[in-house]
Amino acid sequence: MGNVWVWVGSNSIGLLLTHLYRIWIHHFNWKQLSWQTLLPRVAVAVVLLAVLWSFLDLPLYLFSAEGYLQDRFAEPVVFASSIFNGTWILLLWSLLYFGYNMANRYRHSELARVKLQAIVKEAELEALKSQINPHFIFNALNSMRALIDEDPARARESVTQLANLLRYSLQSGKLETVPFGEELRIVNDYLSLEQVRHEERLRVKLDIDPGALALPIPPMILQTLVENAVKYGISTRTEGGEIAIIARSDQQGLFLQVINPGELTAVSEIQPDSEASDSTGLGLRNAAQRLSLLFGGEASLVLKVGEPGSVIAEARIPRTLMKSTDSPSE
């Protein structure tokens, strides 16, 4: 029975010492130290606490062990054994305590890092969206002014289309993705406005998989590709040409092509960090950067040679990483 009381008393002293040890750790902020700085302090603290524990345990052995010391071991041997046992117990306690706290601190730092990355990503996306705006507003206004006397009904329709496009551009800045069908509707308004200016020089061909209409894409991506096609494939050519928009839905996601007249020497992947020499080049670079921020390496945007005399802007937008969003309200 005496040995039971020795065991209970010794463990109670150990609990008290580890409680005081924990207060000491908090007071001197040891949990924020590196392993190299922490280990010497822990080693000294563990030995001192083990010695103190042994001193406090000694009366228990002397008065409650019913001749345990006298009959079995010499007092110095028991004292040394007590220091040894206390040292490894406290050392194990320290490793578990500091290991848990460092793991917890690492987990919190990772959460903070992820939150910071999300904030930076959102800020980058907002900055990029703010740069992708229609560049044809003044031309469209001039064309509509000419239509007011010539074709008032067409002028009113053009005003509505321009308002739709500008409203979409503003509202889409609040969204990461929109349904492809919504983006396509706005692009059709854009092309109608460009046809007022270019007339029969601009022809449009649509080849759209109905299954692709519900797939979400980053807003203004298709608009940027089509704008690039109009600028380089129509505006610079006296005879104009045809712009084809092709969209397919497959297991990977959305496969999108915009084809326009022009010349390209080789396949050119649009790099998010590349330099842009003009506003349209900036738009393509920003479009690639937005795809990279949203979908990583699983999304791509390339310019490549099509049939003789044509250029293809090709985008691959993955299905699995996309997030469904509501389309901008009318």
Measure the CA–CA gap between 47 and 65, rounded to whole angstroms: 25
Measure the CA–CA gap between 222 and 246, rounded to whole angstroms: 11
121 and 137 belong to one structural domain? no
Q: Is residue 96 part of a domain?
A: yes
C-beta separation of 298 from 318 below 8 A: yes
* pTM of the predicted model as reported, rounded to 2 decimal places: 0.57
Q: For the chain, give the number of residues.
A: 330
146 and 220 belong to one structural domain? yes
pLDDT tens digit sequence for 183-229: 999 999 999 999 988 888 999 999 999 999 999 898 888 988 998 89
Q: Is residue 291 part of a domain?
A: yes
- Name the domain boundary from 127, 161, 194: 127
Total domains present in the chain: 2
Q: Is residue 323 part of a domain?
A: no
| Closest CA relative to residue 293, chosen from 228, 221, 245, 229 | 221
Q: Can you give the pLDDT at residue 69?
A: 46
Q: Can you give the pLDDT at residue 123?
A: 55
282: domain CATH number?
Answer: 3.30.565.10
47 and 186 belong to one structural domain? no
110 and 158 belong to one structural domain? no
pLDDT tens digits in sequence order for the chain, 330 residues long: 556 767 777 888 888 888 888 888 888 888 777 778 888 888 999 989 888 888 887 777 666 545 444 445 556 776 787 788 888 888 898 888 888 888 887 888 788 777 656 656 665 655 555 544 455 677 788 888 888 888 899 999 999 998 988 888 877 767 778 899 999 999 999 999 999 888 889 999 999 999 999 998 988 889 889 988 998 889 888 888 999 999 999 888 999 999 999 887 656 566 555 554 444 466 788 788 888 878 877 888 998 888 888 999 999 998 865 444 344 444
210 and 262 belong to one structural domain? yes
The dihedral formed by the CA atoms of 171, 176, 178 and 183, expressed in degrees to the nearest 10: 70
| Closest CA relative to residue 105, chosen from 181, 155, 30 | 30
Q: Is residue 195 part of a domain?
A: yes
| Tokens of residue 277, six digits | 């020499």
Q: Can you give the pLDDT at residue 166?
A: 84
64 and 153 belong to one structural domain? no
265 and 209 belong to one structural domain? yes
- Angle at alpha carbon of residue 68, lines to 12 and 47, rounded to 5°: 45
Q: Can you give the pLDDT at residue 243?
A: 95
- Name the domain boundary from 103, 127, 151: 127
Strand runs labelled E in 209-309:
216-217, 241-249, 253-261, 268-269, 300-305
- Inter-CA distances, 87 with 24, 43, 45, 59, 308, Å: 17, 9, 10, 19, 82
Can you name the residues that pair with 303 across neighbouring β-strands? Answer: 268, 313
Rg of the Cα atoms in the chain? 36
- Name the domain boundary from 127, 147, 162: 127
Measure the CA–CA gap between 330 and 325, rounded to whole angstroms: 15
58 and 116 belong to one structural domain? yes
What is the side-by-side order of every strand in the sheet holding 202-208?
202-208, 241-249, 253-261, 310-318, 300-305, 268-269
Residue identified by tokens 């903070």 is 112
122 and 190 belong to one structural domain? no
DSSP result, 64-106: HSSSHHHHH--HHHHHHHHHHHHHHHHHHHHHHHHHHHHHHHH
C-beta separation of 177 from 216 below 8 A: yes
74 and 202 belong to one structural domain? no
Measure the CA–CA gap between 204 and 192, rounded to whole angstroms: 9
Q: Which domain holds residue 257?
A: 132-318
Q: Is residue 325 part of a domain?
A: no
